[in-house]
Chain A
């Protein structure tokens, strides 16, 4: 079946396109983008006053399946993704069991084939059981389809192991993603170290826990010639280290999560555990540095770090509550109101951060652009539509978001995925 999207404002940075165009989709692929396509189509979408972009790609998502289907599943998370305009995501391996071998990869792929509403790519583990000791069979994992490897929240603590992993990653041409956290420094901290932590009487997590490992991993990547991707940058110093490394030509990329440029540590002051995450919310100067990094190209991508948790893991004492928040359904909206509307970045840059660059970093073929013969993954946004993110509207199985009841402007109204239209908000298109 063919679809013709007419009169939309097409923003496609990969092809340097930003203007009113029509897009023709046939057999799941984009076949033509031009100023006035006059052709019969199975479905015609009038996208007047809408923004039409390559489908968003979220490279840091916790699906919780297998193991914690009580709080999230492939089915629920991928539907949440679609409503947030995300057509592809890469999931982290911190499941039960961890995705650290080919049979777990296969098993997860079988689940996603059956249940996923959007494209799911898999980030495997760097070490067995994410224990930081024995490196996985990278070659086999890559062959089985892993787009990257990461031990996620259990950053590889031993520098020698990390060095070895980077060497092997280079040999196998696979990307390592590092959640930078020196646990000897972060210890049992729960929020950013500083005045807020002091006031609240909570254990602090010094920024050094993050940037020391950013520095270590970048150095090791430089020495081994491997690629490294820094997950959820939260500290000003980390941004500076990455900026410097890029100038030196080290193959480093980085992502930031919307929460880290939308909220400051002061959000923790009511002991609301929905503000508890790792890395923690930082200070105003860190938020500023992240925005600067997103603007000047130091940070390449925006990723949600969607981390579902059950009520019984969140609605308890602050120091005992789980780290993390859900984010698939608010990632774009937060980026629009906090970056584009505040004139920090352009729409074009936003699409780079949320689609073009994640596709490039993870080397996803035919994604992240509206080029001819690309996969027809398209997100349609009404930039003027105001809406409220309500608890009842959440498609994720978990509801741990600090943004519930927040008012947004700019909403995903439709998603085309693999050439099929999924209406998110029917009244508008």
Chain B
């Protein structure tokens, strides 16, 4: 399986005058730090890896002998399992460290934990942390690879990549698409990573939230803002619905789940005014009856479970690329 074109191989394709993209980064920290070409390279690799997931024996020897450490400071089921499966499908060894059952609990700092993992000859740390910038900080302190599995409100790059891969599969392109991100934008790393990724690939992005949950200056990232969910849905090719994180809602933007559902919940009623084939995405976990109705979650427009499958493919690509990064010298 050819995953990246060799930069030395002369392409016979006359169209391919573009310089082949080579992955040179030891880490995947955020979509902000990637070029459009690097995003596309991950997506192309993910496509190839997705094929592996369809085989009867879902395993390739690509990362045999490498070890991945899942370092999770925040509870997570989907992302952690997805990374674990991605590593195993690539034949890497996986160890998992959770906050509640490790030295983190005993007061060890993030950098010390990272350095210990490095000393344990881990090759890649996959880190999930409640502090924005934790992955960036860890990568600066270590020589081994760091993959960001979500840091605070900052970024969740593999989530955005799997969202974009799903969109691309469904609609064939990203450029020119209208995508609305609906929900708690202020506290959402999924929103930020999607904004970076989608705008870099040429989509028109709208963020939709109650005023208090729209962070200052977000328009400077090149997105439209609306507080009306009807407005956000109207012309959208796709909507990405965020989980309303009541546990993080310090500003008390909404007193109750019911009220949120009434004003921002995506219902079949509301979708009637949308494009017929509108793609409905959600990073999970879903709160049925809060940010979307059960009918919409299970409906024909929903691609939520396909997103989950694509998550493994995207994470296989991410682990593969950082593990085999060409030294940038």
- The interface of chain A, by Cβ under 8 A from chain B, is 187, 193-202, 204, 270-271, 312, 315-320
Chain A residues within an 8 Å CB radius of B132: 200-202, 271, 318-319
A197 to B152, CA, bound (A): 12
Chain A residues within an 8 Å CB radius of B271: none
Tell me if A317 and B217 are in contact (CB < 8 A).
Answer: no
Given known pairs A270-B136, A271-B136, A316-B110, the reply for A197 and B155 (CB within 8 Å) is: no
A194 to B136, CA, bound (A): 20
| Chain A: minimal CB distance from B138 (Å) | 10
Return the 3 tightest CB-CB contacts between A and B, nearest first: A195-B217, A201-B153, A271-B133
A408 to B250, CA, bound (A): 44
Chain A residues within an 8 Å CB radius of B231: none
Tally A-B pairs: CB < 8 A. Answer: 67
Tell me if B131 and A199 are in contact (CB < 8 A).
Answer: no
Tell me if B217 and A319 are in contact (CB < 8 A).
Answer: no
A330 to B32, CA, bound (A): 33
The answer to whether B192 has its CB under 8 Å from any CB of chain A is yes
Chain A residues within an 8 Å CB radius of B153: 201-202
Tell me if A195 and B154 are in contact (CB < 8 A).
Answer: no
Tell me if A194 and B217 are in contact (CB < 8 A).
Answer: yes
Tell me if B137 and A193 are in contact (CB < 8 A).
Answer: no
Query: For chain B residues 144-172, which have a beta carbon within 8 Å of chain A?
Result: 151-155
The answer to whether B111 has its CB under 8 Å from any CB of chain A is yes
Tell me if B134 and A204 are in contact (CB < 8 A).
Answer: no
Q: Mark B201-240, 1 if CB is under 8 A from A, else 0.
A: 0000000000000011110110000000000000000000
Tell me if A204 and B216 are in contact (CB < 8 A).
Answer: yes
Other-chain contact of B154, A187, A193, A201, A316 (Cβ < 8 Å) = A201
Tell me if B110 and A202 are in contact (CB < 8 A).
Answer: no
- The interface of chain B, by Cβ under 8 A from chain A, is 32, 109-111, 129, 131-134, 136-137, 151-155, 189, 192, 215-218, 220-221, 250
CB-CB nearest in chain B for A206 = B216
A195 to B32, CA, bound (A): 14
Tell me if B216 and A318 are in contact (CB < 8 A).
Answer: no
Other-chain contact of B137, A196, A204, A312, A317 (Cβ < 8 Å) = A317
Tell me if A201 and B152 are in contact (CB < 8 A).
Answer: yes
| Chain B: minimal CB distance from A374 (Å) | 49
CB-CB nearest in chain A for B217 = A195
B32, B110, B131, B218 interface centre (most CB from chain A within 10 Å): B131
| Chain B: minimal CB distance from A210 (Å) | 16
Tell me if B154 and A198 are in contact (CB < 8 A).
Answer: no
CB-CB nearest in chain B for A204 = B216
Given known pairs A271-B137, A317-B134, the reply for A198 and B109 (CB within 8 Å) is: no
Chain A residues within an 8 Å CB radius of B218: 195, 198
A202 to B136, CA, bound (A): 14
**Can you give 25 contacting A-B residue pairs, CB < 8 Å?**
A194-B216, A195-B216, A195-B218, A196-B217, A197-B215, A198-B217, A198-B218, A199-B217, A200-B133, A200-B154, A201-B151, A201-B155, A201-B189, A201-B192, A202-B153, A202-B154, A270-B136, A271-B132, A271-B133, A315-B109, A317-B129, A317-B133, A318-B133, A318-B137, A319-B131
